[in-house]
Amino acid sequence: MRFRPVGADALLLEVDTPLDWFAALDAERTAGRLGVVDIVPGARTVLLDGVADPAGLAERLRDWALSPVSRRDQPPLSVDVRFDGVDLPFVAEFAGLTPERVVDVLTATELKVAFCGFAPGFAYLSGLPWNVPRLGTPRTRVPAGAVALAAEFAGIYPTASPGGWRIVGHSDAKLFDVDRNPPALMTPGRTVRFKAV
C-alpha cells in the first residue's frame, strides 16, 4: 500500500482491493472513528477527502489490519437490457461463443460496482469473464442507455456521449436523478444483474 497526499486535505491510498478498503473505511467513518468528509474508490485507489491531518492519517493506516466488514448489503439490482447492441457479434467472436450464449453469460454473471466516474451515474461493473478490447477509434456519440463492455468492465452510459466501449445492448434504467437519494442508481459495492428483455 502507498499513500499520496492530494492537495492540503486529501489522501490517496494505492491498494490492491479498493472495494474492501472502501467498505472498511466507510464503516469507520460511519462509526465516527475516521475524520474524513468523503471516501471515493477507484480502480486501484481509494481517495479520502476532507482530512484534517493527511500525514497523521497515513501513519495511522500504515499498520492498519484490514478486516472483513459485515455490511447489510442491498439486494442485487436487476437491470433490464435489450441485447441488440451493434458490437454483440464482435464480443461473441472474441469470446468464442454465439451471441445468444454471450447474453446467457452476461445475464448469469453477478457484477459488482467497482467504482463510479466518467459521467454522473456511470458505474464501472466488475466481474466479466472476458477482457474485451475497446474500439480502435471511439464513437463520437454513444446513446444514453447503451450497455457496453471494455477491458474487464461493463457499464451503462447515463447520457449520450463519446465512447470507445463495445455496445452489446440498451437499457431504459434511469442511472442518475438529482431528486433521488442517492442520485446514482449504482453505488460502489452494489451487486448488479442484467436481465434480458
Handedness of CA 127, 130, 131, 135 (dihedral sign): negative
At residue 155, φ and ψ (nearest 5 deg) are -165, 165
Which one, of 196, 195, 19, lies nearest residue 123 by Cα?
Answer: 19
Give the pLDDT of residue 20: 87
User: How do residues 132-155 score in pLDDT, each as one tens digit?
Assistant: 999 999 999 999 999 999 999 999
13 burial class (0-12, 13-18, 19+ CB within 10 angstroms)?
A: buried
Please say whether the beta carbons of 48 and 39 come within 8 A: yes
pLDDT at residue 81 tops 80: yes
Cell matching residue 169: 445492448
| Section 3-7 average pLDDT | 91
| Section 77-106 average pLDDT | 98
List, in order of start, the domains of the chain with CATH numbers.
2-62 (3.30.1360.40), 77-196 (2.40.100.10)
